[in-house]
């Protein structure tokens, strides 16, 4: 059936349900995602306390959510690689997994940079 492009309330609700299903699957399957969720539970209230402007709040919380986003994408890449390759080791499969891991690392560096600069500016200067 061709997609008409129209998204009514039923389609939007279904898409929301699939998103929740994906979040649940990531949470259940990935220990690193669970750890990052726990860190967000600590950091988001801290961000509300630390931020002095709405932009700072967006940067502090947004950087944390970025890590979760990249972790979900990395987990999806790993799942596809595992499905296609199984136990077989392939150079390209390993490269794909390493690149996904590097993306998560880069997102974590963004968190350190944003939080470091804002903490320095708001607490030490």
Average pLDDT, the chain: 94
pLDDT band at 88 (very low <50, low <70, confident <90, very high): confident
**How many Cβ atoms are within 10 Å of 125's Cβ, its own excluded?**
5
Q: Is 71 a residue of the active site?
A: yes
Residue pair 100/73 in contact (Cβ under 8 Å)? The answer is: yes
Looking at the structure of the chain, the number of domains it has is 1
Which domain range does residue 66 map to?
Answer: 31-124
pLDDT band at 96 (very low <50, low <70, confident <90, very high): very high
Residue by residue, DSSP assigns 57-102 as HHHHHHHHHHHHHHHHHHHHHHHHHHHHHTT---HHHHHHHHHHHH
At residue 2, the pLDDT reads 57
Residue 104 lies in a domain: yes
Residue 74 lies in a domain: yes
pLDDT band at 125 (very low <50, low <70, confident <90, very high): confident
Q: What CATH number did the domain enclosing 57 receive? A: 1.10.287.3610
Q: Which of 11, 30, 36, 71 is catalytic?
A: 71
């Amino acid at each position: 059936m061709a997609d008409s492009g129209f998204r009514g309330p039923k389609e939007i609700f279904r898409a929301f349900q699939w998103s929740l299903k994906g979040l649940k699957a990531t949470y259940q399957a990935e220990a690193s995602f669970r750890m990052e969720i726990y860190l967000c539970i600590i950091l988001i209230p801290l961000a509300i306390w630390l931020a002095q402007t709405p932009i700072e709040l967006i940067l502090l919380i947004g950087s944390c959510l970025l890590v979760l986003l990249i972790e979900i994408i990395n987990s999806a890449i790993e799942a596809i690689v595992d499905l296609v390759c199984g136990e077989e080791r392939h150079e390209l499969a390993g490269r794909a997994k390493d690149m996904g891991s590097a993306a998560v690392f880069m997102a974590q560096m963004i968190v350190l940079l944003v939080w470091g600069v804002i903490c320095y500016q708001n607490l030490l200067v």
